[in-house]
Amino acid sequence: MNLTSQKFTGKTLDTPLISVYIPTKNRVHLLKRAVESVLAQSYPNIEIIIVNDCSNDDTAQYLEQLKKLNNNIKLVSFEVPMGAPAARNKAIKLATGELITGLDDDDYFLPDRIKNLVNAYDAKYAFICTGYYWNFGKIKAKVNNSKKIITLDEQLHLNHASNQVLIARKRLLDIGGFDTEFNSCQDWELWTRIIAHYGSALRISALDYVVDVSHGNHRITDNSNRASGFRQFLLKFSERMTPAHIKSLRFHIAMAEGKNLSLSSTIRLMTCPLWQRNIKYWLSCKFPKIAQWRLDILK
């Protein structure tokens, strides 16, 4: 990969260095796909920081070989497991790009991902993000593929920014990076904190990131404490929340706990921003066999 400063066709400014951080643990077969998707970017000026969170498979051997073949890759290996948020924070500190974004090791970029983000970047927004594909296996569903100014009010109801954004590295450092005390929802918490501090964010309509749930393993951001993460989010931002925001969080918690919501309970937790999710979840509770049949078709 050519790391020299170049220009886009029709652009007058040199391309800034973009740092991409990838935390990984015991999934070398998926990590290879993730790394290859970054190396294949149409954007020419990228560095990759990979943090190996104490893997015991062939990850270390693969990374050493990878570094020998690519001079734009930095490697970090934890001697004891620290978790994905700590791995991301370590990578952010080591990055040298003015702008930075991330990638989970079980996901991958489409070829124009970085170029789309950089072309849309404007420092007046807290950060830039895009839509993405949710890969079930047989079907890739389009998610958030519409342009949107993400306000704090909207972000307190739901994470409109997905799990990755492009942001000035200095902003991430100044605000303290990912909260390692959170059991889950670390991305939603961080993006919300950034919007609260720097103002609204911009989501563009591009679809250039693939969230892969088809591989059969747990996602790097998944754990059994998802409901706990929602409770932590509610507690952390409670002073900024309206009663409607609190209802939205209670709905997220109910979903994470797999509660069988009645129609009356669904109505009590319903908010305008989430009404479609409220109804879909109630239908899945009311007709579980149909919900499972639909999921089987997607897979």
Q: What is the pLDDT of residues 34-91, one digit of tens each?
A: 999 999 999 999 999 999 999 999 999 999 999 999 999 999 999 999 999 999 999 9
- In degrees, rounded to 5, the angle at the alpha carbon of residue 121 between the alpha carbons of residues 136 and 140 is 10
Q: What pLDDT, on the 0 to 100 scale, is given for residue 299?
A: 59
- In degrees, rounded to 5, the angle at the alpha carbon of residue 132 between the alpha carbons of residues 155 and 48 is 95
Q: β-strands 46-52, 18-24: how paired? A: parallel
Q: What pLDDT, on the 0 to 100 scale, is given for residue 298?
A: 59
Q: What pLDDT, on the 0 to 100 scale, is given for residue 285?
A: 93
| Amino acid at the residue 127 | F
CATH topology for 18-212? Spore Coat Polysaccharide Biosynthesis Protein SpsA; Chain A (3.90.550)
- Spell out the residues 6+ positions from residue 182 whose beta carbon is closer than 8 angstroms to its own: 85, 189, 229, 232, 233
Distance (Å, whole) CA 32 – CA 93: 23
User: Which pTM was predicted?
Assistant: 0.90
**In which residue ranges of the chain is pLDDT below 50?**
1-12, 219-223
Q: Can you give the residue ranges of every domain in the chain?
A: 18-212, 226-298
Distance (Å, whole) CA 64 – CA 81: 19
Q: What pLDDT, on the 0 to 100 scale, is given for residue 11?
A: 37
Q: What is the pLDDT of residues 190-211, one digit of tens each?
A: 999 999 999 999 999 999 999 9
* Beta partners for residue 22, in sequence order: 50
Distance (Å, whole) CA 235 – CA 249: 10
Residue 144 contacts residue 248 (beta carbons within 8 Å): no
